[in-house]
Copies of this chain bind each other. A is one copy, B any other.
Amino acid sequence: MTHPSAELAEFAAQLVYEDIPDDVLRRTEDLMLDCLASTLAGSSARAVQTIAQFADTMGPTSGPSENMVTRRSTSPLFAAMVNAAAAHMVEQDDVHNGSVFHPAAVVFPPAIATAQALGRSGKELLVACVAGYEVGIRVGEFLGRSHYKVFHTTGTAGALAAAVAVGRLLNLNKQQMLHALGSAGTQAAGLWEFLRDAADSKQLHTAKAAANGMTAAYLAHDGFTGAQHILEGPQGMGAGMSQDADPAKLTDRLGTRWTVLETSFKFHASCRHTHPAADALLDVVQSNDLSIDDIASVVAHVHQGAIDVLGPVTNPTSVHQSKFSMGSVLGLIAQQRRAGLPEFDAGLDDPAVAAFRSRVSMELDDEVDTAYPRQWIGKVTVQTRDGRTLTARVDEPKGDPGNTLSRNEIEDKAFRLATYRNAASKEESQALIEKVWSLAELQMVGRFLG
């Protein structure tokens, strides 16, 4: 067992609390809170409610795991599915730059649902989530840029991340964990095609990555076998779903490089590809005290991935789709100097923001594209109506590891997300925050809402 898939499986199966540095554990708590609050913020959305209704039709009406959308209990599978659908809904959950992968939505929901079902401790849950991040992010890096052009990495790599997190809680041995990777990888799916239609698939991708990964892990626990080389094999994920898959990425400094620490918080409530330009434009607007009407045009100098994902979105017809419109995001920054959930809700039908979209363009920038995805540089060129040309540059968008959020900022973001549209009360939100901060001391994870 020395090939990359096996090394990953062994790492995941053997990771223990004591091997994980303290800052990694604390950052995992930060990311979990960010995810739970995102789940609440997304819980009332139509696409999420439809998945919750499906879970009610097909799943059991009681069980050991907490469905944070319906506030009822069910089996781990449906708790994971529904909560994962909600976690990614408002585009406020985390992102890992190098893999262009949103780990939180596909790691925490299945891990928490399993921990609740099995009566695991807070420390066991944290270990499982770290394992899910470390494997999922490396799988995303392995699949590479060609994969991301067509596939939603959070859906594909996400199934393996979920399998590992659940598998660790099931105490899979290294061979079982390898089977779980095999069964997860052969279920991995998620295509970007939905984006140009503003369709609901993104929620289905996270829901199914979480559920499919959990399926793989539970099956492996009970003796079901999977491919031994699902990632690097000649008929595996790399062969079928990438043109630049690099197996060396799978095992890059396992146990010494902690990708949890490389994971970014999202400050703006939009697709991460808009954030570098949004931060750069915010700098221009604030430094020159511009209003939206002062701006004649904005050129966002971007990487190819931004053009691939955002390019098809020219005339957003839903709040969710507007988060994938560079023009809409920069319009909110120009108008409100903020692109949070309330700004997106108000901005969809705002004529000034709609008019601003046609004044925004994206241009491929060699420097930005070369640095990506290791570094997400933001560069904008602004023409003002009074004839000035203004530029700004941001090397690390707000929320990146070098420009991260403090625990106070994380709490503030979580509180605003959890109480968005009254998903949770102020008291519940405060209790949720405190529960996550004390997670490592809990003998049983238990429920996160009252």
Contact = CB atoms under 8 A, between A and B. Distances in A.
Interface of A: 46-47, 50-51, 53-54, 57-61, 75-78, 149-151, 155, 179, 182-183, 185-201, 204-205, 208, 212, 215, 218-219, 222-230, 233-237, 239-241
Contacts of A53: 222
Could you say which of A194, A215, A236 has the most chain B C-beta atoms within 10 Å of its C-beta?
A194
Contacts of A50: 219, 222-224
Nearest to A191: B186
Nearest to A152: B186
Given A53-B222, A60-B61, A182-B201, A193 B230 contact: yes
The 9 closest A-B pairs by CB, nearest first: A150-B240, A58-B77, A193-B227, A192-B235, A194-B227, A189-B189, A193-B236, A199-B225, A193-B235
B218 A57 contact: yes
A219 B194 contact: no
Given A201-B227, A227-B199, A222 B54 contact: yes
Contact of A186 (B75, B179, B189): B189
Nearest to A205: B186
A282 to B, nearest CB: 30
A205 B224 CA distance: 13
Contacts of A200: 183, 219, 224-226
Contacts of A57: 75, 218
A47 B224 contact: yes
Contact of A179 (B183, B189, B199): B199
Given A226-B194, A227-B191, A183 B212 contact: no
